[in-house]
């Protein structure tokens, strides 16, 4: 009988709990919205989602893996700090172990998604791989020589917070100025469009309320040839390419997979950004890093969390 593992992708507004088989396929799923960030409330909602997926499988569930935003103490399964949830030393792993009576492995959500995409998505067959998720922020992780890079305290892979424009950039959620995330996330695309409003006072993009402007509308406008959309898209592509070229300089990966909402633009994004990245690549041969759309979409986190649980940690040996 195939072993079944539960992978949980915990986000600030949503949780996905999935039963994942050995081949990385989701065989059952349960999802819940999260409105209240109080720790006990989140545990209750996560517990309800796990109860639902356990009920849907006849197999015994051996382990649970959970990816959570924030800085994780992998040895204890505690969330040392999560800006999303405003948690400090929250005993996430211990609470779920108590609730379900099985082994629970906890890791950072973006690193779990990287492990999932590396093992079962576009990273398959590579040894040096990077995932970047272009959503509200930029999450991701690095695989080098076939292992997920954790760093000394588990903080490696915070690619979104390397600075592109330290003096004249957008303010980042982390407090610094001009982070890659502030410029090249979905929110970054919106900020580029808003910054350009004075040049396009009659733009259809801002005929509604500015706070309602979404990254998809901007991308669609650019695809349709709208001047404001194209100008914002060009700035966005420049900043994304700069960051990707930096990643290539740091890591020299074989493949960079782009996930998240903006990456759903597919060829419209890749055809624009790849030549810019190549032009900015200097110290390794140009054009040798494949830049592709991620394959697992929003399931990467749960699949990766299950993979982590099976391995006993994000990287092997299990000194997570």
Can you spell out the DSSP letters for 223-242?
Answer: HTT-HHHHHHHHHHHHHHHH
Could you say whether residue 174 binds Zn ion (CB under 5 A)?
yes
Phi, psi of 207 (to 5 degrees): -75, -25
The tokens describing 258, both together, are 């782009």
229 versus 243: smaller Cβ distance to Zn ion:
243
Least CB distance from residue 303 to Zn ion, whole Å? Answer: 27
The tokens describing 24, both together, are 């990385």
List of residues 6+ apart from 42 with CB closer than 8 A: 10, 15, 34, 36, 85
Which listed range, 17-25, 51-59, 173-181, 288-296, lies at the site for Zn ion (CB under 5 A)? 173-181
Least CB distance from residue 136 to Zn ion, whole Å? Answer: 13
Least CB distance from residue 233 to Zn ion, whole Å? Answer: 22
Distance CA 51, CA 64 (A): 12
14 versus 176: smaller Cβ distance to Zn ion:
176
132 versus 179: smaller Cβ distance to Zn ion:
179
Least CB distance from residue 35 to Zn ion, whole Å? Answer: 26
Which listed range, 85-93, 96-104, 178-186, 269-277, lies at the site for Zn ion (CB under 5 A)? 178-186
Which listed range, 4-12, 106-114, 122-130, 168-176, lies at the site for Zn ion (CB under 5 A)? 168-176
Distance CA 31, CA 259 (A): 20
Which listed range, 62-70, 100-108, 120-128, 177-185, lies at the site for Zn ion (CB under 5 A)? 177-185
175 versus 285: smaller Cβ distance to Zn ion:
175
Provide the β-strand partners of residue 63. 5, 103
Least CB distance from residue 161 to Zn ion, whole Å? Answer: 4
Could you say whether residue 172 binds Zn ion (CB under 5 A)?
yes
99 versus 161: smaller Cβ distance to Zn ion:
161
Instruction: Pinpoint the alpha helices (H) of 185-299.
Output: 186-195, 215-223, 227-251, 267-280
The upper half-sphere exposure of residue 131, i.e. CA atoms within 13 Å in the direction of its Cβ, equals: 35
Could you say whether residue 187 binds Zn ion (CB under 5 A)?
no
Q: What is the x/- site pattern for Zn ion, positions 124-163, by CB under 5 A?
A: -------------------------------------x--
The tokens describing 315, both together, are 């990287």
15 versus 179: smaller Cβ distance to Zn ion:
179
Could you say whether residue 316 binds Zn ion (CB under 5 A)?
no
3-state SS class at 127 = coil
Could you say whether residue 179 binds Zn ion (CB under 5 A)?
yes
Nearest C-alpha neighbor of 158 from the set 234, 30, 76, 69: 69
| CA angle 149–152–157, rounded 5-degree value | 40
179 versus 256: smaller Cβ distance to Zn ion:
179
Q: Which residue has the tokens 């006849």?
A: 58
Size of the site for Zn ion (CB under 5 A): 5
Identify whether the C-beta of residue 116 lies closer than 8 Å to the C-beta of residue 300.
yes
Q: Which residue ranges make up the site for Zn ion (CB under 5 A)?
A: 161, 172, 174, 176, 179
């Amino acid at each position: 009988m195939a072993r079944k593992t539960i992978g949980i992708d915990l986000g600030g507004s949503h949780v996905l709990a999935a039963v994942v088989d050995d081949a990385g396929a989701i065989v059952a799923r349960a999802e819940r919205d999260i409105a209240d960030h109080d720790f006990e409330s989140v545990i209750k909602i996560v517990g309800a989602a796990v109860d639902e997926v356990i009920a849907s499988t006849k197999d015994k569930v051996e382990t649970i893996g959970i990816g959570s935003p924030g800085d994780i103490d992998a040895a204890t399964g505690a969330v040392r700090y999560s800006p999303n949830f405003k948690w400090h030393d929250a005993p996430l792993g211990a609470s779920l172990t108590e609730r379900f009576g099985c082994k629970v492995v906890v890791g950072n959500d973006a690193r779990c998604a990287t492990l999932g995409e590396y093992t079962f998505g576009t990273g398959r067959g590579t040894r040096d791989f990077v995932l970047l998720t272009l959503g509200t922020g930029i999450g991701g992780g690095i695989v080098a020589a076939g292992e997920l890079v954790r760093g000394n305290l588990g903080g490696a892979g915070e690619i979104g917070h390397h600075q592109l424009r330290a003096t004249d950039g957008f303010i980042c959620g982390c407090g610094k100025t001009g982070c890659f995330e502030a410029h090249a996330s979905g929110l970054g695309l919106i900020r580029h469009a808003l910054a350009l409003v004075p040049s396009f006072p009659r733009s259809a993009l801002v005929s509604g309320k500015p706070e309602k402007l979404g990254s998809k509308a901007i991308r669609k406008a650019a695809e349709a040839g709208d001047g404001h959309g194209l100008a914002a898209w060009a700035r966005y592509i420049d900043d994304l390419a700069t960051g990707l070229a930096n990643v290539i300089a740091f890591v020299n990966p074989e493949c960079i997979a782009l996930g998240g909402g903006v990456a759903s633009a597919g060829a419209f994004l890749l055809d624009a950004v790849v030549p810019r990245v190549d032009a900015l690549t200097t110290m390794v041969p140009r054009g040798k890093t494949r830049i592709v759309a991620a394959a697992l979409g929003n399931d990467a986190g749960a699949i990766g969390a299950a993979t982590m649980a099976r391995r006993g940690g994000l990287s092997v040996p299990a000194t997570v």
